[in-house]
Amino acid sequence: MIAGASIATQSRINGELAVELQDSTLAALISFGIGLGILTLIVPFVPSARAGFRTLRTEVTSKRLPWWYLTGGAFGAFFVLSQGLAASALGVALFTVAAVASQTISSAVIDRVGLGSLQKRPVTVLRVVASVVAVGAVLFSGLADLHVDGSFVLVFLPLIAGFGIGWQQAINGHVRQVTRSPLTATYVNFVVGTTVLSIATIAYGLVRGWGHQFPTDPVLYMGGAVGIVVIVVAAVLVPITGVLFFVLGSVAGQVLGALALELFLPTDSDGVAATTVIGAVLTLLAVAIASFASQRPPKNLLSN
C-alpha cells in the first residue's frame, strides 16, 4: 500500500511536470533519469548492491539468468508512454480501470505458473473474488470521470501496459532473488527504463521540436525519487507475497493515495466524489479478502 500511495504521488508530480513542459515523454525521462542519478550515487556505497552486481554478471554471462529478465524497466517505460498517448483521450479513470484489470489478470497468471524463483500460487475462489472486487472498486471510484474523447481502440494500450507492469514486477522480483539485492534489481530497472525513454524522447523531439521551458519548482523533479521507493518495495515483497497480492495492495494504496491528495492538495474546487471514497473502501476489502485467502488451505480452481 505504501508503494501504491507512492505511485499516486509520482503520477501527480509527473503529470504536473508534463503540463509545465507540454511533453509527457520528456517528463517521464526526467523522472527516470533523476531516479537513476540518485541510485548511481547510492549503489557504490552499499556492499550488498555491489555484491549483487557481481552475482548478476556471473549469472548472465553463464546464461543461468536469461537476458530478458533484465528488461523490467522497459515495461515501466511503456506504461508511462501509454499514459501520455492514451490517458488524455480515454480519460484517467478509464485508463486506470483498463490497466488495473489487465495487471490483475497477468498477476494471477504469473502466480499460477510461477516465474523463475517465484513460488507458484494456486488460483483460489477468494483470490478471484479479491481480484474482481479490486477491479470493481477502481471502476466505481472513477465512475464520475469515465469518458472517451478519442478512438476506443486506444483502450488496448492500457490493457497491454497493465500486463507489462505485472510482468515487470515478477521479473524484477526474480532478479532480486538471484542477486539478493533489491537495489541491484532497482538499478537495472532504471537503467533500462531510462534508455527506452531517451530513445522515445529523441524521436518525439525530432518530430515535434524541442523549445521546452523547464519549471523552477524543485518538487516537480521528485518523481524519480518516489519511483525508487515503488521499485524497491516491489522487488522486496513480490517474492514473498506473490504478484497478485502485491498488486491488490498496491491498487488500494493508489486509490487511498489519490484520495488523500484530493483531500489535502486538491487540483480543483470540485471536492471529492462519494464514488471515490466508496471505491477506496472497496479496495481495502479486496486486500482483506486476499489476505484471508493466503491464510487458508488453498482450494485450487485450476487443479490438474
Smallest Cα–Cα separation from 286: which of 118, 106, 151, 104? 104
Q: How far apart are CA 205 and CA 183, in angstroms?
A: 32
Answer yes or no: is pLDDT of 151 > 70.
no
Q: What is the mean pLDDT of residues 202-223?
A: 88
Q: What is the mean pLDDT of residues 35-64?
A: 96
Answer yes or no: is pLDDT of 304 > 60.
no
Which range of 9-13, 156-160, 184-188, 240-244 scores highest in mean pLDDT? It is 184-188
Say if 125 falls within a structural domain: no
Residue with cell 556505497: 45
**What DSSP string runs through 2-24?**
HHHHHHHHHHHHHHHHHHHHT-H
Say if 261 falls within a structural domain: no
Q: What is the mean pLDDT of residues 5-27?
A: 87
Instruction: Domain of residue 102: give its range.
Output: 2-118+149-240
User: Would you state the pLDDT for residue 165?
Assistant: 92
Query: Which stretch of 101-105, 181-185, 299-303 has the lowest confidence by average pLDDT?
Result: 299-303
User: Would you state the pLDDT for residue 227?
Assistant: 93
Residue with cell 556492499: 47
Answer yes or no: is pLDDT of 199 > 90.
yes
Say if 139 falls within a structural domain: no
Say if 110 falls within a structural domain: yes
Higher pLDDT, 83 or 184: 184
Answer yes or no: is pLDDT of 122 > 60.
yes
Query: What is the pLDDT confidence band of residue 231, given thresholds at 50, 70 and 90?
Result: very high
pLDDT averaged over every residue in the chain: 87
Q: How far apart are CA 154 and CA 122, in angstroms?
A: 33
What are the cell numbers at 294? 493466503
C-alpha dihedral sign at 272, 274, 275, 276:
positive
Q: How far apart are CA 156 and CA 143, in angstroms?
A: 20
Query: What is the pLDDT confidence band of residue 232, given thresholds at 50, 70 and 90?
Result: very high
Answer yes or no: is pLDDT of 54 > 90.
yes
pLDDT digits (tens, 9 = 90+) for 275-294: 778 888 888 899 889 888 76
Q: What is the mean pLDDT of residues 165-174?
A: 94
Higher pLDDT, 166 or 212: 166
Higher pLDDT, 148 or 102: 102
Q: How far apart are CA 133 and CA 113, in angstroms?
A: 23
Nearest 5°: phi and psi at 300?
Answer: -70, 125
Say if 25 falls within a structural domain: yes
Q: Based on the structure, what is the number of domains in the chain?
A: 1
Answer yes or no: is pLDDT of 75 > 50.
yes
Compute and round to an integer the Cα radius of gyration of the chain. 19
H-assigned helices in 180-242 = 182-208, 223-241
Say if 132 falls within a structural domain: no
Say if 36 falls within a structural domain: yes
CA angle 170, 154, 105 (to 5 degrees): 30
* pTM attached to this predicted model: 0.88
What are the cell numbers at 102? 489487465
Query: What is the pLDDT confidence band of residue 221, given thresholds at 50, 70 and 90?
Result: very high
Residue 1: alpha-carbon gap to chain centroid: 12
Say if 56 falls within a structural domain: yes
